[in-house]
Amino acid sequence: MPQRMSLKQMDQFLNGARQKVDDVAREVGEVQVQFVSAHQVNKTMHDATLNDLSLRAAHDLNALPADVRRAIDERLKVERKTLDERRLELLSQVVPKAGQIADDLLARAQQETENLRALNPRLNSQEETLKANYAKLETELKQLNAEIKRLSGCLTGFFNFFKINELDRKRHKLLGRMEETARALKTVREEWTKAKTEYTSQETQLEQQWQQASVDAARAREELDQLQDDDKREKLALQRAIFHVFDNWKTSLPAGGSPLVDEINQMVHLNIETDNYGEGLGKVAGLIALLGGISQGLQSVGQSVQALIQEQQMHSQYLKPVDVSVGDDVIQFHRQWDDLRSKVKDEKALGKHPTQFSELFDAEVKGPLSEAGVKRMFDALSQSLTSATKGWKG
């Protein structure tokens, strides 16, 4: 049965639902922590076992079970082709391009240096000229000041009034020229400082880029040298084939055959566990994102309800109180959170069984938390609000 709620009751309902969603998300976050930790431990063991097993197998291929050896032989064909294609790519594209990039960066750095050197004599010449002009103007100003002082003596000042006035006008013009010269000198010095700063920054960036490009070019040449050698290329192809087969081998062999078979079976277990944790990590992140989206959606609807409450309070004289009819499907949707929380609460147990969590995730997103189900819930909430406040608009 639908429930009728006032706007305030609906606000409380939405806040309560959102709090429960956030509680579930926090519990799932704890599961994620367990998965990350367990996956790191498993991955470390996986990689160490894979490296050791690959080295042992390469040392004595004949000791391998027949089906494993056949798988390696088949994979070897793929690796030979892959490495030969890589050799041709390095020869025709990668090495020439890497060398060209390094050369271009070096040329750019050299050009920037030349630009700064060309700028330096010009600015230096301008500065020296302006400094000389300023010194000349200073000398003229001293002479004018001395002449004005001389003519301003107490006995002759009245008779020299017009002369002093003329000299004072010259002095002000001179001061104006000095100010212009000082500004021009300041501009030249600022231009030099800016150019030098930009050059230093550009030089540092170009040097870093050139160093990286040089390293990349050296690595590409080294890789090409290895692949150009037929024996080395064949050995590398075999290593890659062995590594690939064991990294993807997921079928247990009859136990008790030999220590090598036991290690292969250990590798099988680690491969399966690595895949399980990888899948579990993806699904735990997916569930956290899904819950986060629902929480944000509830917050958005809640903000709309709060806005309606404020509007009703502001205009209570003509906006009658409303009841919102919340459908039973919405009520049922938000009754699931306690049950879901209980399913993910024991993060340590789930951390040891990633497949159990993956099954839980699949059941939820295909059932109660399906995309269609979540959309129906929000559509129903929106429709309830629209219907309840319809009378306000007319």
Confidence label for 119 from pLDDT (cuts 50, 70 and 90): low
Q: Note the pLDDT tens digit of each residue in 236-277.
A: 999 999 999 999 999 998 876 678 888 999 999 999 999 999
Residue 134 has pLDDT above 60, yes or no: yes
Q: What is the pLDDT of residue 92?
A: 86
Amino acid symbol at 302: G
Q: What is the pLDDT of residue 358?
A: 94
Q: Which residues contact residue 364 at a Cβ distance below 8 angstroms, ignoring those fewer than 6 apart?
A: 287, 340
Q: CATH 1.10.287: which residues of the chain?
A: 68-238
Burial class (CB in 10 A: 0-12, 13-18, 19+), 1: exposed
Q: Which residues contact residue 68 at a Cβ distance below 8 angstroms, ignoring those fewer than 6 apart?
A: 57, 245, 249, 253, 264
**Average pLDDT for residues 128-141, to the nearest whole number?**
73
Residue 85 has pLDDT above 90, yes or no: yes
Burial letters for 300-336: b for 16+ Cβ neighbours within 10 Å, e otherwise? ebbeebeebeeebeeeeeeeeebebebbeebeebbeb
Amino acid symbol at 251: T
Confidence label for 115 from pLDDT (cuts 50, 70 and 90): low
Q: What is the pLDDT of residue 394?
A: 45
Q: Note the pLDDT tens digit of each residue in 376-386.
A: 999 999 999 88
Distance CA(276)–CA(165), nearest Å, equals 98
Q: What is the DSSP string of 276-310?
A: HHHHHHHHHHHHHHHHHHHHHHHHHHHHHHHHHHH
Q: What is the pLDDT of residue 345?
A: 93
Model pTM above 0.85: no
Q: What is the DSSP string of 161-200?
A: HHHHHHHHHHHHHHHHHHHHHHHHHHHHHHHHHHHHHHHH
Contact, 76 vs 241, CB < 8 A? Answer: yes
Q: What is the pLDDT of residue 159?
A: 46
CB atoms within 10 A of CB 60: 9
CB-side exposure of 109: number of CA atoms within 13 Å?
Answer: 17
Q: What is the pLDDT of residue 155?
A: 47
- What is 3-62+255-389's CATH number? 1.20.1270
Amino acid symbol at 384: S
Domain 68-238 CATH class label = mainly alpha
Q: Note the pLDDT tens digit of each residue in 169-219.
A: 776 776 777 777 777 777 777 776 776 666 666 666 766 776 777 777 888
Q: Note the pLDDT tens digit of each residue in 14-34.
A: 999 999 999 999 999 999 999
**Average pLDDT for residues 66-77, to the nearest whole number?**
94
Contact, 281 vs 39, CB < 8 A? Answer: yes
Residue 54 has pLDDT above 90, yes or no: yes
State the average pLDDT for the chain.
Answer: 84
Torsion over CA: 235, 236, 239, 241 (sign): negative
> Measured between alpha carbons, how far is residue 72 from residues 51, 115, 178, 247 in Å?
16, 59, 87, 12
Contact, 261 vs 253, CB < 8 A? Answer: yes
Q: Note the pLDDT tens digit of each residue in 143-157.
A: 767 766 766 655 454
Residue 355 has pLDDT above 50, yes or no: yes
Torsion over CA: 134, 137, 142, 145 (sign): negative
Q: Residue 325's closest CA among 389, 281, 263, 374?
A: 389
Q: CATH 1.20.1270: which residues of the chain?
A: 3-62+255-389
